[in-house]
């Protein structure tokens, strides 16, 4: 039911509802269920689309900060609306809640008269159940028609044509890699498949055409995504239900057309799980099915490029020749991969892979990072997160950290990664100021480059000749710079305990 229909129902009007915030979000908003609760931590238990009724007792005793958090959490969960009964405990809805509801697009109603919440829930939810049963019956009829087409020899396109004809919607079936497996109806012209990916089942807007997406698993692993256009004048809930009820038939049609191996499907799902940062147990479950050794060493690879999708075949081919096992995944401007490394010579194999990645032809502005070594598939998401952190930090430091400018080795940014994650920004800046203050002041006043010189020298292992080559300096000029640096920093740090602190400060100085 639409929210305005619910509010005009006799059971709700008896409570004399008054819209206090979120008016712009009321029109077209649908209610999936009516729920009542005084628990302020209810948001994680909701699925979205609920009209939530509250007697206000818990809100009256809560802090203002918790009330605002309550509204934001409900809005973030996709709750259809919040209705609060005012009375002796909570005479008025706090202004802070109204502001939070308005800014987060959550319709908030005041119930100005006492009305039995049980009666409201019974009447509205009975209507919703009846409508749901009707929708499910219509969805099942479409599913049966698709099954009949499949049983009589119809292929994937013919089965999709039944779904398109029965719903009046353009439909398209997409592989996890973004390839079109089949389409029918208006989607044949590119409508349903031309919009942005949802990253999971959901509804998106593709230009002037809205679509809803439903995941199609095969043997428990994502094999495709069904995209359905939402034509004007057709109930979007019906379109979605029809898509959800057709999942099993489409899975069978996929198996009939090109039976995928479980390893291939699990590999795609594994990379989706790594991409989203899933728990180790889930990664171990999928990794085993995808052919990765559960306790084998792994390293993540992240490529950020405007042509990530086109780079995938080249990356797959490179990794196939560099490591025993690998899987990849594309998400918009990011191409990610997971490399399964050998148990013997693990670090050498990782170094060879980084060197090979330096030869990958990528467009200008692209960047590649290799995450730290994960000791088992359960650490794959951590390695991926650290690879991304490295890409975020590398431009600030001005260091490549790999054999080619576009390749960043997370191990070369270990100090920066640790500091960014574990040290508060003010503490980092204070440490840098106390350690390098005179040198930084010298650079600022005289427009010199002593900090860069010191950083390169320390990164080279205090090899003066190598640092001079990297800085394109004559050796004598390098010695003069170093002497000035030593004068400003309390002497030559070699052979003292000051060396590590000085080196750390140079690595943290570029961070915000």
Give the pLDDT band (50/70/90) at residue 136.
confident
- The pLDDT value recorded for residue 20 is 92
Tokens 């951590």 -> residue:
382
- The pLDDT value recorded for residue 199 is 40
CA 299/CA 165 separation, integer angstroms? 47
Mean pLDDT of 300-312: 84
Reply yes or no on whether the pLDDT at 436 is more than 80.
Answer: yes
Reply yes or no on whether the pLDDT at 151 is more than 80.
Answer: yes
Mean pLDDT of 237-258: 84
Phi-psi label, residue 142: left if phi above 0, alpha if psi -120 to 50, beta otherwise: alpha
CA 498/CA 512 separation, integer angstroms? 23
Give residue-wise pLDDT tens across range 2-21: 888 888 889 988 989 999 99
Q: What is the average pLDDT score of the chain?
A: 84
- The pLDDT value recorded for residue 369 is 92
Give residue-wise pLDDT tens across range 122-132: 988 888 888 77
Reported residue count of the chain is: 512
- The pLDDT value recorded for residue 82 is 93
- Per-domain residue ranges of the chain: 3-115, 135-257, 263-267+275-420, 423-508
- The pLDDT value recorded for residue 219 is 61
Percent pLDDT > 90 in the chain is 26
Reply yes or no on whether the pLDDT at 342 is more than 90.
Answer: yes
DSSP bridge partners of 328: 337
- The pLDDT value recorded for residue 263 is 67
Residue 30 is given by DSSP the state B
Residue range 263-267+275-420 forms a domain whose CATH class is alpha beta
Question: What is the CATH topology of the domain spanning 3-115?
Answer: 3.40.1390
- The pLDDT value recorded for residue 209 is 60
Give the pLDDT band (50/70/90) at residue 221.
low
Residue 374 near residue 299 (C-beta atoms within 8 A):
yes
Tokens 């009666």 -> residue:
119
CATH architecture of the domain formed by 135-257 = 2-Layer Sandwich (3.30)
Give residue-wise pLDDT tens across range 451-492: 989 988 988 889 989 988 888 988 888 999 999 999 998 889
Reply yes or no on whether the pLDDT at 235 is more than 50.
Answer: yes
CA 401/CA 410 separation, integer angstroms? 8
- The pLDDT value recorded for residue 399 is 55
Give the pLDDT band (50/70/90) at residue 395.
low
State the CB neighbour count (10 A cutoff) for residue 150.
19
Q: Measured between alpha carbons, how far is residue 78 from residues 45, 48, 81, 131, 205 in Å?
A: 12, 4, 9, 21, 17
Q: Coil, helix or strand for 203?
A: strand
- The pLDDT value recorded for residue 109 is 92
Mean pLDDT of 157-180: 87
Give residue-wise pLDDT tens across range 73-89: 999 988 999 999 998 88
Mean pLDDT of 238-250: 88
Give the pLDDT band (50/70/90) at residue 193.
very low
Residue 123 near residue 11 (C-beta atoms within 8 A):
yes
Q: What is the pTM of this model?
A: 0.48
- The pLDDT value recorded for residue 417 is 85
Superfamily of domain 423-508: PucR C-terminal helix-turn-helix domain (1.10.10.2840)
- The pLDDT value recorded for residue 49 is 87
Phi, psi (rounded to 5 degrees) for 19:
-75, 120
Q: Which has the minimum average pLDDT: 50-54, 105-109, 193-197, 413-417?
A: 193-197
Give the pLDDT band (50/70/90) at residue 262.
low
Reply yes or no on whether the pLDDT at 325 is more than 50.
Answer: yes
Residue 353 near residue 323 (C-beta atoms within 8 A):
yes
DSSP bridge partners of 217: 222
- The pLDDT value recorded for residue 398 is 52
Reply yes or no on whether the pLDDT at 117 is more than 50.
Answer: yes
Q: Measured between alpha carbons, how far is residue 36 from residues 7, 110, 125, 490 in Å?
A: 15, 14, 12, 68
Reply yes or no on whether the pLDDT at 207 is more than 50.
Answer: no
Phi-psi label, residue 436: left if phi above 0, alpha if psi -120 to 50, beta otherwise: alpha
Mean pLDDT of 448-452: 89
CA 233/CA 99 separation, integer angstroms? 34
- The pLDDT value recorded for residue 208 is 46
């Amino acid at each position: 039911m639409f929210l305005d229909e619910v509010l005009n129902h006799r059971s709700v009007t008896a409570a004399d509802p008054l819209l206090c915030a979120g008016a712009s979000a009321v029109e077209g908003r649908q209610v999936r269920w009516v729920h009542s609760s005084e628990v302020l931590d209810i948001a994680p238990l909701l699925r979205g689309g609920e009209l939530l009724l509250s007697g206000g007792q818990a809100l009256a005793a809560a802090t203002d900060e918790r009330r605002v958090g309550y509204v934001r959490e409900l809005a973030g969960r996709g709750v259809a609306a919040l209705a609060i009964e005012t009375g002796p405990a909570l005479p008025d809805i706090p202004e802070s809640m109204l502001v939070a509801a308005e800014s987060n697009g959550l319709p908030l109603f005041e119930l100005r008269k006492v009305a039995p919440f049980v009666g409201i829930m019974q009447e509205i939810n009975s209507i919703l159940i009846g409508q749901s049963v009707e929708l499910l019956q219509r969805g099942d009829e479409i599913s049966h028609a698709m099954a009949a087409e499949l049983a009589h020899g119809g292929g994937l396109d013919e089965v999709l044509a039944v779904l398109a004809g029965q719903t009046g919607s353009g439909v398209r079936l997409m592989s996890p890699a973004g390839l079109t497996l089949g389409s029918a109806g208006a989607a044949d012209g590119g409508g349903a498949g031309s919009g942005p990916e949802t990253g999971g089942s959901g509804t998106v807007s593709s230009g002037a055409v809205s679509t809803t997406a439903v995941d199609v698993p095969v043997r428990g692993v994502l094999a495709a995504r069904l995209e359905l256009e939402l034509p004007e004048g057709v109930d979007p809930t019906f379109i979605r239900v029809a898509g959800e009820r057709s999942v099993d038939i489409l899975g069978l049609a996929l198996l009939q057309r090109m039976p995928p191996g479980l390893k291939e499907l699990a590999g795609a799902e594994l990379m989706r799980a790594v991409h989203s940062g899933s728990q180790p147990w889930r990664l171990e479950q999928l990794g085993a099915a995808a052919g990765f050794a559960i306790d084998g060493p792994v390293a993540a690879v992240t490529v950020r490029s405007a042509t990530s999708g086109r780079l995938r075949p080249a990356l797959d081919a490179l990794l196939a020749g560099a490591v025993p096992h690998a899987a990849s995944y594309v998400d918009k401007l990011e191409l990610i991969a997971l490399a399964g490394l050998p148990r013997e010579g693990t670090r050498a194999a990782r170094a060879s892979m980084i060197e090979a990645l330096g030869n990958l032809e990528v467009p200008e502005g692209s960047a590649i990072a290799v995450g730290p070594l994960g000791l088992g598939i359960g650490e794959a998401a951590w390695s991926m997160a650290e690879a991304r952190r490295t890409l975020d930090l590398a431009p600030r430091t001005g260091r490549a950290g790999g054999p080619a400018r576009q390749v960043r080795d997370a191990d070369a940014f270990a100090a920066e990664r640790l500091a960014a994650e574990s040290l508060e920004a003010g503490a980092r800046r204070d440490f840098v100021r106390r350690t390098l203050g005179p040198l930084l002041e010298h650079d600022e006043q005289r427009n010199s480059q002593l900090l860069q010189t010191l950083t390169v020298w320390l990164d080279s292992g205090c090899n003066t000749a190598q640092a001079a080559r990297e800085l394109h300096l004559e050796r004598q000029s390098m010695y003069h710079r170093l002497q000035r640096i030593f004068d400003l920093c309390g002497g030559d740090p070699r052979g003292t305990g000051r060396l590590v602190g000085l080196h750390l400060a140079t690595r943290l100085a570029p961070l915000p």
